[in-house]
A and B are shown apart, each in its own frame.
Chain A
Amino acid sequence: MSNSIFGWLTIILRRDLLIAFRRSATYITPLIFFLIVVTFFPLALGPQESLLSSLAPGVIWIATLLASLLAVESIFSEDFRDGTLDNFFISLEPSFVLVFAKVLIHWLITGLPIMAASIIAAIVLYLPFDSFLPILLSLILGTSFMSLLGALGAALSLGKSAILSAIIVLPFSIPTLLMGTSVITSSINSQDYFGFLMIMGAMLAIGIPLLCLLTVEALLLNYD
């Protein structure tokens, strides 16, 4: 049984990764978008080192949330339009796995590039070297949670405007934003940040089963 589920998961992963890599825009766009948003802050606020480094945790997280939202709409829309999603649902394989794979793909093409770019952002915003590890840790947990939320938003607003999924997802991403910035800020102030990481991990642990199931439910709305 587990063998067939993993087989199913790898089939979807391989197919979607192939599609993503054949079209470089899918993983380049969030990355470039992230860097552009980060660049805007020094331009708008002036280049003082103290100001920028104190704002940096917030800047990095706001840019991450926006960049992650940018790719949300594409999670299901293309497969929905060309009928691939219908076939996934007809195929009798557990649809939970489908959603999980889609979330994983979204994370691989947005979360991972953003994590790489966040180090560049941390350097240009004058963050100390010690804070790089907490930034990466908070981003791993936070961007995966954002991908889960984004999948739900995309499923609910399937075939509607992209701005709708942003309206749906953004209020729910606020806890992630708060925890993520707290991790970075407390690491800069050399305080203990594991508590915040644990809360983010707990959110992810609840979110993977709950949000995936609800996303399946939301996708099924289109097939009544």
Chain B
Amino acid sequence: MTRIWKILKQWFIEMGSPPLFYNWSSKIIPWLGITTLVLLSLGIYWGLFVSPIDYKQGDVYRILYIHVPSAILGESIFIFMAICGFINVIWRAKISGMMLKAAAPIGMSFTLLVLVTGSVWGKPTWGTWWVWDARLTSTLILFFIYAALIGLHSTIEDKTKADRAVSILSIVGVAIIPVIKKSVDWWQTLHQPSTFTITSSPSMSPEMYLPLLICLLGFYMFFAFSLTLNLRNEVLDRERSKAWVKQNFNS
């Protein structure tokens, strides 16, 4: 058991070393890109053109295929960042700090996308762009926390220190995620409770559920794709004075 653990740890450390990461990530990028493109175009085409019209909301409900995946992404990216932060604080793994930094703008964009699509969806269905409802407000707070993390990172000049500072803050910030998740159950709100769960059978019809699932997978793949690109950029930027970068770009 300890042998397996050791091998795994060794593998993990090796994969995380900047030059090795740069090499192996260049091989997976095209695959990530292709899967993202296929899943997203399939899911969005299916969702926007093929899936049946909602009997109450009409065509308006189709914004769901963007809104729900980006909401899930905005929250899961934060959890991902907190895990990276935890690893960075405890084991001082450099790459996890860079990963945190690379993921933050993506998560913030998804959170902004949820707020914007939600408000566009709210106008025809609730009759207002914005209500001070628990789910909406807690998502807005998540957006502010993303902004605080990015702002903190940009003020500290030493990048490794900035990573650790942001890691510490992201560990505190992850407490917002269960609040967002449970806000529709704890408070009486306008926002509907979630219809989309992994643990129980869906309450939507399968023709609406399947494209949503594909969209969600596509969004996750898009996150993996853009994270890898961002991270490669970050790695090159941090290691630009190292020999391996110079070798790579001179030859």
Contacts and interface: CB of A to CB of B under 8 A. Distances in A.
Contact of B152 (A164, A170, A175): A164
A214 B172 contact: yes
A152 B144 CA distance: 17
Contact of A160 (B141, B147, B155): B155
A142 to B, nearest CB: 16
A172 B172 contact: yes
Contacts of A210: 172
Interface stretch (A18-26, A76-84, A216-224): A216-224
Contacts of B175: 175
B224 interface: no
Interface in A178-224: 210-211, 214, 217-218, 221, 224
Given A171-B144, A171-B148, A164 B172 contact: no
A157 B152 contact: yes
A156 interface: yes
A152 B152 contact: no
Nearest 5 interchain pairs by C-beta:
A171-B144, A171-B145, A214-B168, A221-B161, A156-B165
A211 B145 contact: no
Contact of A156 (B89, B141, B168): B168
A31 B41 CA distance: 59
B161 A224 contact: yes
Contacts of B173: 171-172
Contacts of A157: 152, 155
Given A171-B141, A174-B141, A175-B179, A156 B169 contact: yes
Nearest to A169: B148
Main secondary structure of the interface of A (DSSP, over half): helix
Which bracket fits the contact residues of A? Answer: 20 to 34
Interface in B153-200: 155-156, 161, 164-165, 168-169, 171-173, 175, 179
B30 interface: no
A209 to B, nearest CB: 13
A167 interface: yes
A93 to B, nearest CB: 22
Contact of A168 (B141, B148, B161, B164): B148
A168 B168 contact: no
Contacts of B161: 221, 224
Contacts of A156: 152, 165, 168-169
A163 to B, nearest CB: 10
Interface residues of B, number: 20
B124 interface: no
A167 B164 CA distance: 18
Contacts of A217: 89, 164, 168
B165 A221 contact: yes
Contacts of A170: 144
B145 A172 contact: yes
Contacts of A174: 141
B151 interface: yes
Contacts of A152: 168-169, 172
B148 A167 contact: yes
A169 to B, nearest CB: 9
Contacts of A161: 155
A168 B144 contact: no
Nearest to A152: B172
Contacts of A171: 141, 144-145, 147-148, 173
Contacts of A172: 145, 172-173
Interface in A127-169: 152, 156-157, 160-161, 164, 167-168
A218 B168 contact: yes
15 contacts: A152-B168, A152-B172, A156-B169, A157-B152, A164-B152, A168-B148, A168-B151, A168-B152, A171-B141, A171-B145, A172-B145, A217-B168, A218-B168, A221-B164, A224-B161
